[in-house]
Chains A and B, each alone.
Chain A
């Protein structure tokens, strides 16, 4: 059981800055995120795209912003729990018991949901029968590539994941790469490599095709793919892989008794607390009159939510407002030596 003052759900910019604000006022926190790294949408959706509206930062990329925020919270030694999703939430007297998908448990005074538009999950095939093969002969990510040795693999997608795995697996497997158009979104060098392998007969490339259906009983035997013009081909496949990027799902948050409207959680604008005492929501996931889905708004919301957490974490103390420029306590917490 991890005991800390506040659990932050979501390691995007808003969650990271809220951790900073908690640190400044002397509260401890830990952060859970479903992705394998911090940064949220900034890292997952636009790591290289410039952002121009972070106050006092004329231009930075999503990755730079994330790295700077991580640097800013470094003095607080915050513990991250990545690749985990918060699953269960239980009130225990004045505290909350939280459990993640990896079975990690927390005992916290307050919870800050900074979950963006939800947790990132792989996008799936629209074809219904795919569900029954998922996890045995159909995958959206690869954990153990050795199972593909000497097998026939049909890979769907046109981004870097699809191209990289097609190239990699073509060494020891028979690979079909199926994509909906002639163009690819993946790196040009990988596209050239795939085309070369296709020419050499080391990989079969099918463009302007999409999945029509999967056939098989317990395991997949073949897939049918359909051309833009309607022609259908059946190709033998032991495994099917789909790489269509990630989509955000609200997930278990929906079951926590929060007021939810259009995939967002309603909060007050005084301290960004939800209808459930001790649970706060900040960033893209919260809604209130006038809400702007900007990173800068998330920073403001995080600063106020952090102060809102104080009375739950230290009910017998009073929080005094201080500036980091002059507060000895804040500077000590930041590890500043004079």
Chain B
């Protein structure tokens, strides 16, 4: 279990306990947090679950797999701290993670 904080574009903050093994994307979808579309359902094939990770977390997250950066090329306003939330699997180590959801997914 980890507490994940989602900052949505409407300046709201949602802090939610998410079970280990779910992805940060699934945590958002299951809890009706707006702004994550996840059109492809977690297949790293669409870049519509794009989030900005709070800077201090960047190094603590598992490295990007092949293909994630390619998909981020397609994302809406990608930045250095961009990740696909379907690729972030929740574990105890991620407790306290904060992500910002962009204004748009495409």
Contacts and interface: CB of A to CB of B under 8 A. Distances in A.
A179 B39 contact: no
Contacts of A159: 70, 73-74
A115 to B, nearest CB: 12
Contacts, number: 53
A152 interface: no
Interface stretch (A180-188, A197-205, A268-276): A180-188
A248 B45 CA distance: 12
A126 B77 contact: yes
B102 to A, nearest CB: 9
Given A41-B40, A46-B43, A293-B41, A245 B69 contact: no
Interface string A92-128: 0000000000000000000000000110000110100
A185 B45 contact: no
B46 A181 contact: no
Contacts of B77: 126, 210
B106 A247 contact: yes
Nearest to A159: B73
Contacts of B46: 45, 247-248
Contacts of B104: 126
B70 A185 contact: yes
Contact of B73 (A46, A158, A293): A158
A185 B73 contact: yes
B37 interface: yes
A7 to B, nearest CB: 24
Interface in B65-80: 69-70, 73-74, 76-78, 80
B48 interface: yes
A85 B95 CA distance: 45
Interface residues of A, number: 26
Contacts of A180: 73, 78
Interface string B10-44: 00000000000000000000000000010111010
Interface in A54-88: none
B39 A244 contact: no
Contacts of B80: 228
B24 to A, nearest CB: 18
Contacts of B45: 41, 45-46, 49
Contacts of A118: 39
A169 to B, nearest CB: 20
Nearest to B70: A185
A263 interface: yes
A10 interface: no
A302 interface: no
B73 A244 contact: yes
Interface string A160-184: 0000000000000000000111010
Interface in B55-94: 69-70, 73-74, 76-78, 80
A248 B74 CA distance: 13
A49 B45 CA distance: 10
A82 B76 CA distance: 28
A45 B43 contact: yes
B40 A244 contact: no
A245 B43 contact: no
In the A-B complex, the 8 residue pairs with the smallest Cβ-Cβ separation, listed nearest first, are: A185-B70, A247-B106, A45-B45, A245-B74, A117-B39, A126-B77, A158-B73, A244-B74
Interface of B: 37, 39-41, 43, 45-48, 69-70, 73-74, 76-78, 80, 104-106
6 contacts: A41-B40, A45-B43, A117-B39, A124-B106, A159-B70, A244-B73
Given A45-B43, A183-B69, A247-B74, 8 more contacts: A118-B39, A123-B74, A158-B73, A181-B73, A185-B70, A228-B80, A244-B73, A263-B37
